[in-house]
Amino acid sequence: MNHTDTPSLHAASAPLDEDSPWPPPQQRAQQREAKRQAVLSAAAQLFNERGFHATSLDDIAARLGVSKPTLYYYVKNKEEILLGCVRQGLQLMLDGIEDSRCGGGSALDQLTTCMQVYARIVTQDFGMCLIRVGDEQVSADNRGELRRIKAAIDHEFRRLVTQGVEEGSLAPCDPKMTAFVIGGALSWIGRWYQPGGEYTPEQIASQCLQTLLGGVLRRDPPASSH
Amino acid sequence: MNHTDTPSLHAASAPLDEDSPWPPPQQRAQQREAKRQAVLSAAAQLFNERGFHATSLDDIAARLGVSKPTLYYYVKNKEEILLGCVRQGLQLMLDGIEDSRCGGGSALDQLTTCMQVYARIVTQDFGMCLIRVGDEQVSADNRGELRRIKAAIDHEFRRLVTQGVEEGSLAPCDPKMTAFVIGGALSWIGRWYQPGGEYTPEQIASQCLQTLLGGVLRRDPPASSH
């Protein structure tokens, strides 16, 4: 019985003792990555609950039921953990935007999908961390990287708004400012959303999209109720 | 020549030597308050630029050209400074909301004024500080106070949306969620606004209000351009 799905790995390395208490290398790498992910997830939850500075490595270790020295096997320090969390939040957004682009359709279709993706991700641990922990918490070197990725996401929204105006589905507007308004309203969800609260992430996304796309003002003439 | 506009103060206290190098008590109190305000303003700017944790009392003193011990004459510690900044940001909003209520008009008029007030304040030092520094930076006791005031502001928006729907100017909606979307998009201005940047606060407020009130979708049927 094999410990791995990739027989070629075995062929390339020394024969393994099937009774060895150590798993084969590929499985060890997978386990290590799974554990690093668990560290990042626990950290993101704590950062979101208490703030970055109020969370210690001891808190993260305690939530995982391990010792602090164990954490150092997977991460160097708290800033590296935060960067890992924020990078994953950003990557989820980039992936979602890429999927919506591949899905095709009108600019309005793609913009709607991007807004749904964005609204969903900011209610999840890594996306919420991206919103709640400001860029100024990371060192200047890493801040540049985060801002570049955020700018890329913002530009994608701006591009879709511009195309939407061109295709006639969106009202003529300043695409940069409109993208800021959309991104702002959706980002803010990550600040006020409470998991298990009154609204599900799906309800929030649906209502926010409706308000942002349709606006607040009544479209048909008001009924004469008096 | 009097050092103060309130002669009654002099009548109640011992006669002052007009050549005294110490100003009379009321003037001293005014000077003290002006200096405390200068400490809060400098601190708000630094918190907004660098983040709360990255700003030291030494930084604040340096920006004011005084020594750190001098600061302790006006404030107890960094948390007290942050609370002072955030309280002023919140008070500016409450005052603006109160003014718009006194101004009267339809619910839509009042909502529009409140949105303008909110958008303007988050581009100013104390309002920006309110947005950029999360509640989790202050101790649990004070956090409760801040959240109560924020909830009061949120409820005012919710009340105006509800009344706007009742008067027929706003589309039927979930007032709570709509208030979150409005407040979120306007709050986010405080995260991305750069003083002296491409847009003035007035331009930003005007465009954001237009997008939020009118929505993103085109209202008239798209022109057949092809």
Structure confidence by residue, pLDDT tens digits, B113-139: 999 999 999 999 999 999 988 777 888
Q: Dihedral angle at the C-alpha atoms of A46, A51, A56, A61, nearest 10 degrees?
A: 10
Residue A217 bridge partners (DSSP):
B170
From CA A127, how far away is CA A144, in angstroms rounded?
Answer: 18
pLDDT given for residue B48 in this prediction: 93
Taking contacts as CB-CB distances below 8 angstroms, the residues of chain B near A177 are 199, 204, 207-208, 211
| Interchain contact A140–B (C-beta under 8 A) | no
Identify whether the C-beta of residue B93 lies closer than 8 Å to the C-beta of residue B127. yes
Looking at CA atoms only, how far is residue A211 from chain B in angstroms? 7
The residues in B 70-99 lying below 8 A from A, measured between CB atoms, are none
Identify whether the C-beta of residue A115 lies closer than 8 Å to the C-beta of residue A34. no
B68: helix, strand or coil: helix
pLDDT given for residue A221 in this prediction: 59
CATH superfamily of A25-213: Tetracycline Repressor, domain 2 (1.10.357.10)
pLDDT given for residue A25 in this prediction: 87
Say yes or no: ipTM exceeds 0.90.
no
Taking contacts as CB-CB distances below 8 angstroms, the residues of chain A near B160 are none
Q: Give B21's Cβ-side CA count (13 Å radius).
A: 0
Cβ pairs bridging A and B (under 8 Å): 161
CA nearest neighbour of A39 among A88, A108, A103, A5: A88
pLDDT at B6 over 60: no
Task: Specify the residue for token string 């008590």.
Answer: B25
End-to-end CA distance of chain B: 80
- Beta-carbon separation of A169 and B213 below 8 A: no
Percent of chain B with pLDDT over 90: 68
Q: What is the pLDDT along chain A (226 residues), one digit of tens a residue?
A: 444 444 444 455 555 566 788 888 888 889 999 999 999 999 999 999 988 988 999 999 999 999 999 999 999 999 999 999 999 999 999 999 999 999 999 999 999 999 999 999 999 999 999 998 877 788 888 889 999 999 999 999 999 999 999 999 999 999 999 999 999 999 999 998 988 889 999 999 999 999 999 999 988 755 554 4
Interface mutation target, options A216, A218, A225, chain B, most CBs of B under 10 Å = A216
A60-65: list long-range contacts, CB under 8 Å, 24+ apart. A64/A38, A64/A39
The residues in A 142-161 lying below 8 A from B, measured between CB atoms, are 161
pLDDT given for residue A12 in this prediction: 52
Looking at CA atoms only, how far is residue A36 from chain B in angstroms? 26
Task: Specify the residue for token string 């011990």.
Answer: B69
Residues near B29 by beta carbon (within 8 Å), at least 6 away in sequence: none
Rounded alpha-carbon distances, angstroms, from residue B79 to A54, B36, B86: 14, 14, 10
pLDDT given for residue B158 in this prediction: 96
| Interchain contact B182–A (C-beta under 8 A) | yes
* Mean pLDDT (whole number) for B184-208: 92
DSSP state of B136: G
Q: Give A176's Cβ-side CA count (13 Å radius).
A: 7
pLDDT at B11 over 70: no
- Sign of the CA dihedral with B59 first, then B65, B68, and B73 last: negative
pLDDT at B34 over 80: yes
* Mean pLDDT (whole number) for B188-212: 92
Given pLDDT bands bounded at 50, 70 and 90, which one contains residue B42? very high
CATH fold of B26-213, please?
Tetracycline Repressor; domain 2 (1.10.357)
Rg (CA), chain B: 22
Percent of chain B with pLDDT over 70: 89
pLDDT given for residue B223 in this prediction: 56
| Interchain contact B119–A (C-beta under 8 A) | no
Please, what is the angle between helix A25-50 and helix A125-132, to 10°? 50
pLDDT digits (tens, 9 = 90+) for B51-99: 898 899 999 999 999 999 999 999 999 999 999 999 999 999 999 999 9
Residues near B185 by beta carbon (within 8 Å), at least 6 away in sequence: A181, A182, A184, A185, A188, A212, B208, B211, B212
Given pLDDT bands bounded at 50, 70 and 90, which one contains residue B14? low
pLDDT given for residue A224 in this prediction: 55
From CA B146, how far away is CA B177, in angstroms rounded?
Answer: 21
DSSP state of B139: -
pLDDT given for residue A44 in this prediction: 97
